[in-house]
Amino acid sequence: MKRLIFLMLCITTAMSIHAQKELSINDILKGNGIDKSRVTETIIRGERLKPYHLTSFHSIKFNATEKERDDTEKQFYTYITQNAAQGKDGKTNSELESRGGHLYYAIAEVKPLSPYDRRYICYQCSPDANNTFRLTLVTLEGRVSLQNLQKMFKK
């Protein structure tokens, strides 16, 4: 009986981990499922980010088909819904802009990896030639507020 319960517990755990993986945008940020020749990835850590009060910058850019855009948009919404950081007032710290019924621009604060830093995920989608879309996803970590990030990006 103990073995049966243990086996059922292992199966349930494996299924929940697999389900969470499918709902995560982490695969896209790693470039999985996208032809590597279409992906431009930038990772910056360390001293070069200090003036911006950041410790990590990771971006991925690629041209997406309509289906890839729709899938990425869905995964982005799912990710920020599940991982949104809430302020003391209980509200989430984010800015979202849609165009033509699809997400165009977003920046959202998500749960930090450490209690000392903040973490953000950004999304931008713009139409490109031949019915494709230029997608950019960025993750940022550091001690910077959303308001300061917005000011830096508007420079």
Greatest mean pLDDT among 24-38, 82-96, 114-128 lies in 114-128
Instruction: Note whether residue 11 is domain-resident.
Output: no
Specify the pLDDT at position 154.
64
Question: How many angstroms separate the CA atoms of 78 and 37, rounded?
Answer: 27
Instruction: Note whether residue 52 is domain-resident.
Output: yes
Question: How many angstroms separate the CA atoms of 105 and 153, rounded?
Answer: 12
Instruction: Note whether residue 59 is domain-resident.
Output: yes
Cβ-based neighbours of 60, under 8 Å, separated by 6 or more:
28, 29, 31, 39, 40, 41, 42, 136, 137, 138
- More confident position, 11 or 19: 11
The lowest-confidence range among 13-27, 57-71, 95-109, 114-128 is: 13-27
CA dihedral 61, 131, 127, 135 (to 10 degrees): -20
Average pLDDT of the residues of the chain: 79
Instruction: Note whether residue 71 is domain-resident.
Output: yes
Question: Using an 8 Å Cβ cutoff, are 121 and 136 in contact?
Answer: no
Instruction: Note whether residue 34 is domain-resident.
Output: yes
The 10s digit of each residue's pLDDT in 43-54 is 999 999 998 899
What range defines the domain where residue 149 resides? 25-153
DSSP 151: H
Question: Using an 8 Å Cβ cutoff, are 54 and 2 in contact?
Answer: no
State the total domains in the chain: 1
Instruction: Note whether residue 40 is domain-resident.
Output: yes
| CATH code of residue 47 | 3.30.2030
Question: Using an 8 Å Cβ cutoff, are 81 and 102 in contact?
Answer: no
Query: 3-state DSSP call for residue 25?
Result: coil
Instruction: Note whether residue 146 is domain-resident.
Output: yes
Q: Which pTM does this prediction carry?
A: 0.76
Q: What is the separation of C-alpha 37 from the centre of its chain, rounded to a whole number of angstroms?
A: 21
Distances 90 to 52, 84, 85, 93, 145 between C-alpha atoms, Å: 27, 11, 9, 10, 16
Instruction: Note whether residue 147 is domain-resident.
Output: yes
